[in-house]
Structure 1
Amino acid sequence: MTREDGGGVLELLERIGSIVVPIAVALYALLYIGIEQIYAVFGVNPQQVGVDQAVLLGRMTSTLVLLLLVAIPLLGLFVGLGWLADRMTRGAAARLVRRIRELPWIAAALAALWCGATYWGLFNLFGDLDLFVMVVIAVGLGVLAFLIPFRLLRRKAVGRAGTKVLVGGLTGAGLGFLLILGLVEGAIDVQDSGQSNELLNAVGFQDQWAVVKSAEDDKPLYDGRWMMLLGESDGTYVLYDCDKLETLRRPMETTNLGQIELDPEREAGFTCGGLAQQNTP
């Protein structure tokens, strides 16, 4: 490999890192908002079930390790494909990319359109949008809000670096809003079906169920029904009663947990709210 080739690969890795880091920071910043929305479905907040930033990061450790193991070979594959495409075109691919970057209006327009499209997740939180409406929003917002600022930023090296950070940050925010949307839908599914999905498990939501017993005589409470343990904090268990669709709190000193089970299997067609429907007049 020539010195020029090595510099090209290192330059590509540097560019990828300058975008990936802002994406990761923005995505993690919005993750906790998504966690708040999960527990809001059950009428509590993360602090009431003992989930703070440290607990969330600890629960997500295995997921982060798996993501890292997947991201490293994907990054290597992406760099390898870029090098191969440049070799197959005898440098034409690299020259095309450099040419686009040297044309400030084209580079600014592409970045502006992309940033406009990142607002898709945010707008989807307020209503279901079809593809045509989203394209109109992305193009309009990108041209009106981002095109001229990005064009002005490209006049200096520090401005171009700032553009990368801004594009990466907005990309992470857009992915974060999509994540929030998916987490809320997953929490509603848990509330209705009593079963978590893979997305909720990936962000540290514990699908943990137990039979609640009295600490005095160790007899089952609530007719021995399985209760979902949302968490505990300040000496209090926070439980979700799938049968009555209610969130309950019980002092830990008067409560024993028996027959604890993670990710229980449900029969086909199982739904929560059986007792709630019976009590409805």
Structure 2
Amino acid sequence: MDPESDTPADQKNGGGVLALLERIGSVVVPIAVALYAVLYIGVEQMYAVFGVNPQQVGVDQSVLLGRMTSTLILLLLVAIPLLGVLVGLGWLIDRMTGGAAGRLFLRVRERPWIAATIAALWCGATYWGVFNLFGELDLFVMVTIAVGLGAAAFLIPFRLLRRKPVGRAGMKVITGGLTGIGLGFLLILGLVQGAIEVQETGQANDLLSYVGFQDQWTVLKSADDDKPLYDGRWMMLLGESDGTYVLYDCDRLETFRRPMETTNLGSIQLDPERQDGFTCGDLATQDTPSQSDSE
């Protein structure tokens, strides 16, 4: 065995189905757990664009659990065929090179410094989504962050962890967890941007629907005489909680609440079609707020 190799000889050829499942789980589980935790933050940030939190629109912990689980299932359905394509591509390259690609991969994997460097750079790159929350980064800055953070914070610890099997397992958990967090923050950016688009254009994208955000619009009517309120304009129904509707007025760019006992929901539309170039805010410059419109 190569003196620099960290991989025991009895592990080079695998260990059967259970060993394969264990290896897959050691990578997939940390990614899924970290991604789930960060997605919860993403949902909070999405509703924060409208000035409310999930609890105020009736999205409690049980609802969030269901939404996050369905989101993870959708991501898994996308990841499985993608992983299969990558494995097939790797197999094809290995065949085309007469096994040289596979041998090169094993040699790289067995070199502790090379494996630690690759993992460190990858972990550094996962922070790109975090830093992007504070401002847009160009490619040069992103690469600088990945290299600098990876070399300073992860390279030496990962090299030390690769000395023992438990250390290598720990490195997989750390790498998988940071990968999930990095993907989660990228999703947060997408959710926040999608919520801003709803606020500005009155139309939600597919990403928001995947996390359970309903692009639902309604005409409000008075419970006393069933006459339309707010000149019969369409309002986005963000949710309801504690006997109160939480709505977004696209024309005035305002989020407001109305008691359910004095409000009836008239016509309801899901994902309404918008004209090209439609934007919200036509009445935003008027002095009279929508909450004070006559019933």
Q: Is the TM-score greater than 0.5?
A: yes
Quick one: distance in 2 between partners of 1:103 and 1:189? 48
Determine what percentage of the aligned residue pairs are the same residue: 82
Aligned pair in 2 of structure 1 residues 81, 14: CA closer, same or farther (>3 Å)? farther
Aligned pair in 2 of structure 1 residues 59, 219: CA closer, same or farther (>3 Å)? farther
Partner of 2:108: 100
Quick one: distance in 1 between partners of 2:287 and 2:66? 41
Quick one: distance in 2 between partners of 1:166 and 1:61? 22
Partner of 1:112: 120
Partner of 2:64: 56
Q: Choose 84-93 or 154-163, whichever is displaced more.
A: 84-93
SS at match of 1:276: coil
Partner of 2:233: 225
1:38 aligns with 2:46: yes
Deviation at 1:8, TM superposition (A): 7.5
Deviation at 1:96, TM superposition (A): 2.0
- Contact persistence 2:36–2:72 (CA under 8 A): no
Quick one: distance in 1 between partners of 2:84 and 2:122? 24
TM-score calculated relative to the size of structure 2: 0.86
- For structure 1, the 5+ residue unaligned runs are none
Runs of 4+ in 1 over 6 A off after TM superposition: none
1:268 aligns with 2:271: no
Q: How does 1:127-166 map to 2 (within 5 A)?
A: 127-166=135-174
SS at match of 1:277: coil
TM-score calculated relative to the size of structure 1: 0.90
- Contact persistence 1:216–1:254 (CA under 8 A): yes
Partner of 2:8: none
Quick one: distance in 2 between partners of 1:7 and 1:156? 18
Aligned pair in 2 of structure 1 residues 112, 69: CA closer, same or farther (>3 Å)? closer
Partner of 2:266: 258
Partner of 1:241: 249
Quick one: distance in 2 between partners of 1:47 and 1:5? 51
- Contact persistence 1:41–1:187 (CA under 8 A): yes
Deviation at 1:60, TM superposition (A): 5.7
Deviation at 1:56, TM superposition (A): 2.8
Deviation at 1:100, TM superposition (A): 1.4
Deviation at 1:27, TM superposition (A): 1.1
Partner of 1:198: 206
1:25 aligns with 2:67: no
More helix by share: 1
Aligned pair in 2 of structure 1 residues 112, 65: CA closer, same or farther (>3 Å)? closer
Aligned pair in 2 of structure 1 residues 178, 254: CA closer, same or farther (>3 Å)? same
Deviation at 1:138, TM superposition (A): 1.1
Quick one: distance in 1 between partners of 2:257 and 2:13? 63
* Alpha-carbon RMSD: 2.3
SS at match of 2:277: coil
- For structure 2, the 5+ residue unaligned runs are 1-11, 289-295
Quick one: distance in 2 between partners of 1:57 and 1:225? 34
Q: 1:207 aligns with which of 192, 215, 232?
A: 215
Aligned pair in 2 of structure 1 residues 93, 8: CA closer, same or farther (>3 Å)? farther
